[in-house]
Structure 1
Amino acid sequence: MRTPWAPPQRRDTCMTFKTPRLMIAALRGGAGKTLVSLGLAAAWRRRLGLSVVPFKKGPDYIDAGWLALAASHPCYNLDPFLMSPMDILGSFVRRAHGADVALIEGNRGLYDGVDADGTCSSAELSKLLKSPVVLVLDATKMTRTAAALVLGCRMLDPQVDVAGVILNRVAGARHERVLRQSVEKVNGLPVVGVLPKERENLFPERHMGLVPPQEHGRLAEAVERLAERMEALVDVEGLHDMARRAERLGWPAVGGCNPVAQLGGDAVRIGVLRDGAFQFYYPENLEALEESGAELVFIDSMNLPRLPEVDALYIGGGFPETHLAQIAGNRPFRESVREAVEAGLPVYAECGGLMFLSRGIRSGDRLHPMVGALPFEVEMGRKPQGHGYTVLEAVKETAFFPEGIELRGHEFHYSRVVDVTESLEFAFRVKKGFGVLEGWDGVCYKNVLASYTHLHACGQKEWAEGLLKAAVWHRNRKVMASETALRPPQASVVKAL
C-alpha cells in the first residue's frame, strides 16, 4: 500500500531549481481559472516573448490540451493522488528546467482535495512547488464578500503564498471599484486583473468540460483573442514578477517519469490510435515509451485502411461517441484490428479504447459497429457512470501487469457496458471507483487489457514497463515464427514426404 501523501522533508542537495513559477487557482470549479491560464500563457509568450511550460494539476486531458496550444509547448500533469511528492518534484524540475516561466493551473477550489483535510489539493501542490498563487474570483453578485473569501483562503493555511487576485465576471465600473477597494484594503494584496462579463463564449463546454481543441473550429482566433483580452485587462508583467519571486526549490530531482530500463534488441513499434476520436494521452506516457527505446506509430482510426504492422497497440481515451459514423464507416480498419487481436497482438485500451473494442456503441436508437473483440456493447448515458480517482488491485497476471500490484488512476465516463453475451474475465478488483461493472475493471481477452481507468506513467512506472515488455514478447514471437517458417525441413521430414 502507498503511504499517505505528505510533502517530503527538506534535505541537503547539490542542486537548486530556480525557474519562475506561478499557480492560477480559484475558490471553486467554473470560476474562470482555465481561461485565465490560457490567456496568460499566450500573453506571456506573445507580449513578453517568454518560453512557457504549462502544467495542469489533476488528471485532466482537455484543459491540458488547451494549455499546450496556448503555450506552444506540451502541458504536463501534476497529481498528488496519482504521484508521490518526489515524482511530482522530479517531473516538474525536469520539464520546467530552462524555461522562462512555469505556469500551473490548479483544479476545483484551492483547498479542495480528496478528504476533509484537503489532501491532494492545489494548495498542497503549491506548497510542495513553493509557487505563488493567484486567485481567480468569480465576483458575480458580490462586493465586500469577495474580500472575506480571499481572506479565508489566506488565513486557512498561511503557508500558502496567495500573491494576488484576478476578479472575473465583473458587472461594471462601480462594481469593479468597490470590489478592488475591499479586496486590497482587507487583504493587502493587489488586484492584478479585472475581467468583465463576456457576451461571446469562444470556448464552449459540454459534459466533460471545454470542447477539446481538436473539435474547436476557431483555434487560432480563440487563443489570439483571449491573449489580447488578458493583455488589455490583466497586469501580465506584474504576474511575471510574481512568478520570479518564487523561492528556489532545494529538493533533489528524483523520480518524475524517468524512463524504464532500456530493453535490449531492436526498437519495438507501438501503435497509438491518435485522431479526433482518440486524443486523451498524457505526454509523459508517450515520452516514457519513446525514451525507453520504443518507436511510436500514430494511427488514424477513421482514415487508414488497415492497422499497420506494430508490436503492440495503445488505444487511449477520447470521444468516439462524437465520431461514430466515421469510425463505423471504416470497416476495413476495424476488421484489421480484430484480426490482430485474434492473432495475439498485445492491446492496452483505456476508456474510449474499451468502447472501440466492443461490439458496438449505442447512440439513441442506433448501434454503431465497432471492432467486436469484446463480447458486449456500450451505451451512452446522460450522467457520469464513473467519475473520480480509482484504486485497483490486480487479481491475475496479464501481459502488462503482475498479479497483486496496486494501481492508482482515474475514470470519467458517460458510457456503460451493456448486453454482455459471454462471461467476462477481469484483471482488476476495484478498491475505489466504479470500473466496467461495479467492483471490477480491466476486461481481458487473449492479450487485450481494456479498462475504464486511465493510468499516468509518472505515478505508475509499471505501466510503461509492462507495455514495452508485452511489445518485445510479441516481436520476438513473430521473429521466431518467421525463422521457423524459413528453416529448411529436417531430413526425416523430407524422406517422409
Structure 2
Amino acid sequence: MLYRRPRLMIAALRGGSGKTLVSLGLIAAWRRHHGIRVAPFKKGPDYIDAGWLSLAAGEPCYNLDPFLMSADEIVESFVGRSGACDISVIEGNRGLYDGLDAQGSCSSAELAKLLKVPVVLVVDATKVTRTTAALVLGCQRLDPEVRVSGVIVNRVAGSRHERVVREAIEGSCGVPVLGVIPKEGVNFFPERHMGLVPPQEHGELQAAVAHVAERIREGVDLDGLREVADRADPLGWVPSSGRERNRLQGRAQVTIGIVRDAAFQFYYPENLEALEKQGAAVKFIDSFQCEVLPPVDALYIGGGFPETHLNGLTTNKGLRDSIGQAVEEGLPVYAECGGLMFLSRGIHHQGGFYPMCGVFPCDVVLERRPQGHGYAILECVGENPFVPAGRLIRGHEFHYSKVVDLSPDVPLVFRVQKGHGIVKGWDGLCYKNCLGGYTHIHAVGNGFWAEALVRTAERYRRGDKTDEITRRKGGVHYMGQAIEHNIIS
C-alpha cells in the first residue's frame, strides 16, 4: 500500500538555529490563516518542543526516533497518526546529519530518507553571508539521497544582508529561499536548563503562538512550502493486522491514574494511547489540587520539573501520604525521572529539604550540571512487576538530579549498557509493585510496557494485592538479593 500524503521536515545545521520556532510558527500559520489541519511530529526524545508543536497544531505531537524505534515501527506510527490531517510537519533535532556516530546513525537525515520527506533547512545567518551557501551545499552533497528542497534564513540583519544571502544560496545550491526571518527583538520563548520553558509554565501561550505565527506568515512563503510538501515521494507501508484488538477480548477495564500537571508533564501521547489500546481508562491526577489519591488500579508518574514546584508538592501532604499507603497495599506504580524524585524521601534544593512520598529509601539532590543526558540501553537483571528478566530496553534520560543516601538493602534491577541511571551503571528501584528509574521509555519501541502495566493493574483490581516479588520469591520484602551492594554510593 502506498502512502502519498504531503509532508516535509524542518531541519537545521545545528541546534539553536530556530527550527522549533519556525516549525511551530509554520504549523500555527497554516492552521490559522489557511485552515490547514497539520499533523505535527518531533524527531528524537523530546517533550517540551513537542508540547509547543501540539499547542500550535491543536493536535497531539508524536515522536519519531530511529534509536528508540525500529524502521517498521516508525513508518507504522507515522502513517497511522498522520492520515487524518492535510499535511505533516516533522521537526528535526540538532543538525541535519548529527547522530550517534560519524556516520550519522539515527540522525534527522536518516529519518528523512526512511519517510521520503523533503527537507527544508533553517539557516542561522548571524554574522555570515555567502558562507551560508557553502553550508547548504555541503548538506546537499554529503548525502544526495537526502532531498534538501528549500531554505529558510533566520536572524537576518537587514535588506542588504537578505539580498546577499538569498542570491548566494539560490545561485550556488539551486534551491529556493522560501523564507527570511529578521532578528527578533522580543523573546516570547525563554529557555532554561532543559530548553524552552514548557507550555504548562509559560503564562502567555496564545500570545506567544500568535506572535510567531504572524512572523512566519509575513516572512515565509507558505504556498511554496506547501508545494514542497506536495512533492514528497510515495511511501510504501504495510498496515497493522489488528491483532491488538483480539488480545483485549474478555478483559475487564482498569483505571490507570496519570499524575499530570505543571510538575509532571513529560508523557508521550503514544504511551497513553498504548494503555488505552490495552483496555485501560486513564484518569488524570493533579498533584497540587488532588488531596488524596482517587480509586485507581495502577499509577503512572512521568517526568517533569518537580524541582520548580517543591513548595506545592510539599504542601499537599494528603496526596503524598495516600500514595505511600497505596504502594504499601500493593498498588502498581511506574515512575520515570521526576516520578522517581517524587517517590523518594525528599528533595534537597538550594539549602532546603522538601519531603516527598517516602516510598523509596533515598533522597534526591539537584545539581547544576546534567547527571545523565542522552540515550540509554538497559538490561533487566532483577525481578520487578513490569519488565521480564533478560529484556533490553531502549530509552533516554536527561536529569540534573541525583539519588543520594540510598539504602544498601534495595537492589537496582536494570544494568545500564548505555547511559548513567540512578548510580553509574545501574537504574531502576523496585519496592513491592512500584518501579522507578531515571530512564524514560517510549511505548512504540517498547511494546511490552503497556500490556505489562495493564496486566498488573488487572490483578490488583481483582483483589490480588500481593507484590510481584513476593509472588515469585515467596515472601521477600525488597526484591530478591541485593545486586552488588558496593555499587551504591
Q: So what's the TM-score if we normalise by structure 1?
A: 0.92
Give the one of 213, 220, 223 matched to 2:206.
220
* Aligned match of 1:492: none
Give the one of 26, 36, 46 matched to 1:50.
36
* Aligned match of 2:273: 287
Give the one of 287, 291, 308 matched to 1:301.
287
Aligned length: 466
Alignment of 1:345 with 2:331, yes or no, is yes
- Root-mean-square deviation (Å): 1.5
Contact map agreement 1:257 1:288 (CA 8 A) in 2: no
Contact map agreement 1:114 1:120 (CA 8 A) in 2: yes
* Aligned match of 1:425: 411
* Aligned match of 1:399: 385
CA gap 1:259/1:379 in 2 versus in 1, 3 angstroms = farther
* Aligned match of 2:487: none
> Residue 425 of structure 1: CA displacement?
1.5
* Aligned match of 1:24: 10
Contact map agreement 1:62 1:212 (CA 8 A) in 2: yes
Q: Residue deviations 1:71-126, cap 9 Å, x none? A: 01000000000000000000000000131000000000000011110010000100
- The letter for the 1-side match of 2:212 is L
- 1:411 aligns to what SS in structure 2? strand
Alignment of 1:119 with 2:109, yes or no, is no
Identity among equivalent positions (%) equals: 62
Q: Distance in 2 between matches of 1:328 and 1:179?
A: 54
* Aligned match of 1:243: 229
Q: Distance in 1 between matches of 2:247 and 2:266?
A: 25
CA gap 1:237/1:260 in 2 versus in 1, 3 angstroms = farther
Give the one of 142, 146, 151 matched to 1:165.
151
> Residue 255 of structure 1: CA displacement?
8.8
> Residue 248 of structure 1: CA displacement?
1.0
Contact map agreement 1:260 1:288 (CA 8 A) in 2: no
Q: Distance in 2 between matches of 1:436 and 1:171?
A: 46
Contact map agreement 1:87 1:254 (CA 8 A) in 2: no
* Aligned match of 2:439: 453
Q: Residue deviations 1:334-390, cap 9 Å, x none? A: 000000011111100000000000000111110000000111110111110000000
Alignment of 1:138 with 2:124, yes or no, is yes
> Residue 250 of structure 1: CA displacement?
1.6
* Aligned match of 1:4: none
Moved over 6 A (4+): 255-260
- 2:235 aligns to what SS in structure 1? coil
* Aligned match of 2:190: 204
> Residue 261 of structure 1: CA displacement?
3.0
Q: Distance in 1 between matches of 2:246 and 2:324?
A: 30
Give the one of 300, 308, 321 matched to 1:322.
308
Contact map agreement 1:260 1:465 (CA 8 A) in 2: no
CA gap 1:259/1:38 in 2 versus in 1, 3 angstroms = farther
Contact map agreement 1:136 1:168 (CA 8 A) in 2: yes
Q: Residue deviations 1:123-150, cap 9 Å, x none? A: 0100111110000001111111100000
> Residue 251 of structure 1: CA displacement?
2.5
- 1:120 aligns to what SS in structure 2? coil
Give the one of 228, 247, 252 matched to 1:261.
247
Q: Distance in 2 between matches of 1:459 and 1:344?
A: 28
- The letter for the 2-side match of 1:140 is T
Q: Distance in 2 between matches of 1:108 and 1:257?
A: 37
Alignment of 1:99 with 2:85, yes or no, is yes
Q: What are the ranges of 5 or more consecutive residues in structure 2 without an aligned counterpart?
A: 467-489
Q: Residue deviations 1:173-224, cap 9 Å, x none? A: 1111110000100001100011111111000000000000000010001001
* Aligned match of 1:434: 420
- 1:429 aligns to what SS in structure 2? strand
- 1:408 aligns to what SS in structure 2? strand
Q: Residue deviations 1:276-311, cap 9 Å, x none? A: 100100000000111221011110111111001111
Q: Distance in 2 between matches of 1:257 and 1:240?
A: 36
Alignment of 1:270 with 2:259, yes or no, is no
- The letter for the 2-side match of 1:95 is R
Contact map agreement 1:38 1:67 (CA 8 A) in 2: yes
Mark the structure with the bigger radius of gyration. 1
Q: Distance in 2 between matches of 1:86 and 1:95?
A: 14
Q: Distance in 2 between matches of 1:242 and 1:260?
A: 40
Alignment of 1:355 with 2:310, yes or no, is no
Alignment of 1:68 with 2:48, yes or no, is no
- 1:477 aligns to what SS in structure 2? coil
Q: What are the ranges of 5 or more consecutive residues in structure 1 without an aligned counterpart?
A: 1-14, 481-497
> Residue 259 of structure 1: CA displacement?
7.2
Q: Distance in 1 between matches of 2:456 and 2:350?
A: 38
CA gap 1:336/1:194 in 2 versus in 1, 3 angstroms = same
> Residue 397 of structure 1: CA displacement?
2.7
> Residue 237 of structure 1: CA displacement?
1.2
Give the one of 137, 147, 163 matched to 2:133.
147
Contact map agreement 2:383 2:413 (CA 8 A) in 1: yes
Q: Distance in 2 between matches of 1:131 and 1:261?
A: 34
Q: Residue deviations 1:214-265, cap 9 Å, x none? A: 0001000100111111000000111011101101112223499967932643
